[in-house]
Copies of this chain bind each other. A is one copy, B any other.
């Protein structure tokens, strides 16, 4: 597991070496959509028109910001796909969503889950990954794995009552476990005050069975005692943006 949310060194937790507290940098949006029931019942031509609008809007998102598309068909019953967007300016993201709502897609997609977060320098140092120092943006080596495993998360109040050194020690154990799973990449983003969870955690990997083993092992770590919630959990499969409409049955050929 390669961590993106780490910062080594002797500086007090939560503060940059300069003394300024860490703050949010990039805005990150996880939007889970489901094709509305009335669209599934619509004639093929209507579905194809919606599919074309979807493809065009995704292309527009990719031009403006980091955009990734994942299918949740067959792993979740309440959603069909995940759209993952990142930009330094939250308005670029929200402007795109306003366009979507004003388009024919606004009536065609249900929106069962949505998570807003930001990247931020981690509170905790990572002895195993020097390159993670000062990282405060989303990792640049992502988007290549077959699966994304996502969940919103919050810590218990007891966690925030621990001393910084205690938390650091537990996070070191947590990081050491993850380090043994080299093929799993972690992206931790922060939602304090912006949305109802404290974190949105997204793991990338090619093998669900390996990720299952990692999370099983993390259950025994001390930091896990301080998890308030980490559900719903989503297993998502990477799709090329231009293939989403066909995958969802919104392409002309499906008529």
Contact = CB atoms under 8 A, between A and B. Distances in A.
A84 interface: no
A203 B227 CA distance: 27
A98 B160 CA distance: 43
B73 A41 contact: no
Contact of A77 (B35, B75, B113): B113
B249 A31 contact: no
Nearest to A47: B102
Contacts of A209: 23-25, 118, 120
A77 B112 CA distance: 7
A93 B74 contact: yes
B194 A211 contact: yes
A118 B212 contact: yes
Interface of A: 14, 21-25, 27, 29, 31-32, 35-38, 40-41, 71, 73-78, 80, 90-91, 93-98, 101-102, 106-107, 111-114, 116, 118, 120, 149, 157, 160-161, 190-196, 198, 203, 208-217, 219-220, 224-225, 227, 231-233, 235, 237, 247-249, 254
6 contacts: A21-B213, A73-B97, A73-B101, A74-B94, A76-B114, A195-B235
